[in-house]
Chains A and B, each alone.
Chain A
Amino acid sequence: GAGVSQSPSNKVTEKGKDVELRCDPISGHTALYWYRQSLGQGLEFLIYFQGNSAPDKSGLPSDRFSAERTGGSVSTLTIQRTQQEDSAVYLCASSTSLNQPQHFGDGTRLSIL
């Protein structure tokens, strides 16, 4: 069956531009997570959605970052006025519920020039 799908796989943009990253979770998974992974580093939690509950935004690094999840399925992570330090791989994961194993997408590699 289909896994977690992320698009684009790579994104190169100029500093100051806005970017949108997309995540299609596994069908039926109610929990969806966004992480950031800088080169050679671990995962930095950004945000998660659980069903129709308000998202936990505690990991978002600044107010330039926002995310939404429409219809309990597809999610977009938006970074406004990008900075060079935003360059990283952004990973999305989904699970049947919180505390269950997460299934990860291949990530979006974002490069800010």
Chain B
Amino acid sequence: AQTVTQSQPEMSVQEAETVTLSCTYDTSESNYYLFWYKQPPSRQMILVIRQEAYKQQNATENRFSVNFQKAAKSFSLKISDSQLGDTAMYFCAFISGNNDMRFGAGTRLTVKP
């Protein structure tokens, strides 16, 4: 069975600084998809970034980028120039080629002014 581990339950960062959230996963499959989702306080879960395992290039969306290390089964999220609105729970998610879905337990990120 696939597992997703987020080893940092809580993190904080000063506004305008950079923070990296870690995510590791365990799978025997070669075809899968990885996601980071953001859940602001009392608000809807939204997609931050998506990575296909067959692509070597790291996905980037504005201030958000990933460091995808397939051999190490690591998928960390880097947030540059952190903003107060980035304060949220961040979930790493894995979907296999045969549609097995797993979410990590989440990392609560607080951006401090």
Q: Which residues of A are in contact with B by a Cβ distance under 8 Å?
A: 3, 33, 35, 41-45, 48, 50, 56, 91, 93, 98-99, 101-106
Contact = CB atoms under 8 A, between A and B. Distances in A.
Contacts of B99: 48, 50, 56, 98-99
A99 B102 contact: no
Interface residues of B, number: 21
Interface string B42-73: 01111100100000000000000000000000
Contacts, number: 44
B103 A33 contact: no
B33 A99 contact: yes
B105 interface: yes
B29 to A, nearest CB: 12
Contacts of A48: 99, 101
A99 B95 contact: yes
